[in-house]
Chain A
């Protein structure tokens, strides 16, 4: 998490979740998992005493991306699959900001899969919340890269022939330093994960299992409730053990949630001397002397 600029202002300010509402009302289907994520996130900001203007959320395209209209922070509603590089640019230009990314499964591990791999290994201090409903909702019900094998959709009427991408396993092998899974039907647990993810220094990744009540009749609230358990309930689970985390992330019969992996590693920004003293955006650029550079060309 980034440094807070105006601590006194912060403390005097009595933040409420409602302060993060815009004038627009959510357009998600009744019962959509997005409501759980939306509520948990707003509460997380309040708990962390983050002001709306200190946060930038970059959204992908999809039902989750439409959330850009419903959460009051700085927002960039980017293209399908491109939220991660946009967020990277924002963070490198002004690393004092708290940067989050919200996108769906198609966005993150389908069309934007390459960016996901490289953003994980970069370990930039941002938090990526991937909404995984295992179906394409906004385009009205086609298969997703996270859909189970055999899943019948409008684009795969005979059933999906591929096996699904496991976003948590992928994040683990690609080098993210905080990796968790939450469930939109358990907002208290999700809030706790979000809080820790945002506080984590480095790239934090949360996969949120999120039922799509309209287009996915398999991965429902009850489907998850029957299978989910919490890693916190295991006595000797070691969050710094990568091999253990990968093994856990591959479990299918029962679905682990909670924090799989949490380690400290220098962030990308830590390696950038040029932003040690102040963010790029704070530099004066009105009259830069390039005499030294011109001398190179003699």
Chain B
């Protein structure tokens, strides 16, 4: 059957390579130009527990995974129990009878095809390690899709090359066995994907894109404490420290992390940190220090369901009000929330420029869904990220005698000397201070300095674009959302569009400061406004209310620790109607 779009899922016990098998499956199709989105679901433990990895492949642009699965690879019985509901009418489940008797379970779905592939026997016959069951399943999946086995072979070669020819050959052989078993023994021909323009596409997560954007932006100091789902950024930075002259510091805690980054930034380098909510709680104190000392800083906040330890490996958008209000006292900060990896890349570049230009902290918010799932893209044009360092002074000859670090300027931004140049000596002071930086608690001075720091907002607002509108301007229904909900909403809009319902999306990537005036017109004009958020308390709706006085009453909220599926948004909208 020719299709434009298939969803594939693999499930099994944690610790058996589900994640890497899923990632290879994604790659097989991105290599040939297909649009790919994947979703990795795993518990917070190393062995045992259930792992699942979903990949959606399409010959048309796709923005998120979907509920309906065409092919389910079940490496254990539990996978069938947990996921056979998701398999669509006429879909396929690949399983091994050695992993459990499923006669009873099968009765629940007479409308789907159960394909027995003897993974264990094949592995024993080949005399290869058990982990290679994954390759057998990949080979079998490729066969079911009538896809080119050579693409899989090449990827396996790339991945295992450094482990020697024997390992490569074992891996390839086991995938070939799976392929042949379907093609020659069972002779099943399930699906065939429509052909696309052959472009070799990148496959990357939001975290990967943040990392790339930061390296391009000249980030030279990166500090972090491992915390899911931010950890991969730390590992990426650590892997390139020598190639790109970056110091990566895994510090003792997030308090040290943010203060080290502040120190590095004070000394003149671009510095960044990343964490999740718990670490960000610890960083709150330091955030205020960056603000009062006017030290540029970029903070990546990869959200996960909270409070406390919460659901460490799942997704939620619960921290936006926390982020915009983070740290005690009143000060200017910027909060950004990219909706996909491409936006992660460019907004990270923007974050560094804003931080340097206005000498303020900038927070970039992701969530587990965006941080850890892969999306396919054509190569980013990194030249589109430029480096703007604002009023940074690096040479003594540019500095007049009597230098004032906190000079009360018209735009509120004062020239900032890096450390080590003779005319630039100053105190960066976390106490309120005068223009030189000396501690000063006089009432007159206090007002001047607070006003100076807040005056930056005028120029800053000119740089902040209004929210992006997707879909027709004359829609019957307007969805308001932010961050990673963008993908599932765009998918939902496609479905609704087919039902001839006119829906548009107002998507915020710049969340703070918030320009209420720019959206008042849209709210008033729309017949029906609905917020869609991956949280319990509709935090964006509160921000809109705070800034416009307008209450959006219709809400579609999800807080199960899972990202929205497009169908859930469609249902939500139909119910509201």
Contacts and interface: CB of A to CB of B under 8 A. Distances in A.
Interface stretch (B9-17, B218-226, B534-542): B218-226
29 contacts: A68-B439, A73-B425, A74-B424, A74-B425, A74-B427, A75-B426, A75-B428, A75-B437, A82-B256, A82-B286, A85-B260, A86-B260, A88-B256, A89-B221, A89-B259, A89-B262, A89-B267, A94-B420, A114-B253, A117-B252, A118-B252, A280-B245, A280-B246, A281-B267, A285-B217, A285-B270, A286-B218, A290-B212, A298-B203
B418 to A, nearest CB: 6
Contact of A79 (B30, B289, B420): B289
In the complex, the 8 A-B pairs of residues with the closest C-beta atoms, listed nearest first: A89-B263, A285-B218, A85-B259, A93-B267, A89-B260, A89-B264, A86-B263, A93-B264
B421 A66 contact: no
Contact of A273 (B242, B380, B427, B437): B242
Contacts of A84: 256
A66 B387 CA distance: 36
Given A24-B438, A280-B220, A283-B245, A92 B420 contact: no
A274 interface: yes
A247 interface: no
Nearest to A86: B263
A200 interface: no
A118 B427 contact: no
B249 interface: yes
Given A68-B439, A118-B252, A297-B208, A76 B425 contact: no
A77 B260 contact: no
B221 A93 contact: yes
Residue among A56, A115, A298 with the most chain B CB within 10 A? A298
Interface in B380-434: 380, 382-383, 387, 418-431
B382 A290 contact: yes
Given A24-B438, A69-B427, A77-B430, A297 B202 contact: yes
A56 B242 contact: no
B566 interface: no
B50 interface: no
Contacts of B322: none
Interface string B150-168: 0000000000000000000
Contact of A274 (B217, B241, B264): B241
Nearest to A78: B430
Interface in B213-260: 215-218, 220-221, 223, 240-247, 249, 251-253, 255-257, 259-260
A93 B429 contact: no
A76 B268 CA distance: 13
Contacts of B293: 76
B28 to A, nearest CB: 12
B285 interface: yes
A294 interface: yes
Contact of A293 (B240, B265, B437): B240
A130 B383 CA distance: 48
Contact of A272 (B216, B247, B422, B423): B247
B565 interface: no
Which of B220, B268, B382 has most chain A Cβ within 10 Å? B220
A168 B118 CA distance: 66
A117 B289 CA distance: 22
A72 B425 contact: yes
User: Number of contact residues on B: which range applies?
Assistant: 35 or more
B269 interface: yes
Contacts of B418: 94, 281
A87 interface: yes
Contact of A54 (B215, B270, B420): B420
Contact of B251 (A97, A118, A272): A118
Nearest to A286: B387
A235 interface: no
Contacts of A82: 255-256, 259, 285-286, 289
Nearest to A118: B252
A89 to B, nearest CB: 3
Contacts, number: 203
Nearest to B271: A89
Contacts of B218: 283, 285-286, 288
Nearest to A52: B425
A280 B221 contact: yes
B438 A294 contact: no
A274 B244 CA distance: 8
B266 interface: yes
Given A280-B220, A292-B243, A79 B286 contact: yes
B425 A274 contact: no
Contact of B212 (A52, A275, A283, A293): A293
B246 A274 contact: yes
Nearest to A284: B218
B72 interface: no
A53 B240 contact: no
A51 interface: yes
Given A74-B425, A115-B256, A88 B263 contact: yes
A58 interface: yes
A222 interface: no
B263 A298 contact: no
Residue with the highest number of chain A CB atoms closer than 10 Å, among B217, B223, B262, B286: B262
Contacts of A89: 221, 223, 259-267, 271
B242 A77 contact: no
A285 B387 contact: yes
* Most chain B C-beta atoms within 10 Å of own C-beta, residue among A76, A92, A96, A292: A76
A115 B282 CA distance: 14
A175 to B, nearest CB: 13
A20 B462 CA distance: 43
A240 interface: no
Interface string A90-110: 111110110000000000000
A155 interface: no
A49 B268 CA distance: 24
Given A77-B431, A92-B260, 20 more contacts: A52-B425, A68-B427, A69-B438, A75-B429, A76-B428, A77-B428, A77-B429, A82-B255, A89-B261, A89-B262, A90-B419, A92-B264, A94-B269, A94-B420, A118-B252, A281-B268, A283-B218, A285-B218, A288-B218, A298-B31
A156 interface: no
Contacts of A140: none
A74 B383 CA distance: 35
A22 interface: yes
A84 B113 CA distance: 63
Contacts of B249: 88, 92
B24 to A, nearest CB: 13
A72 to B, nearest CB: 6
A74 B263 contact: no
B303 to A, nearest CB: 23
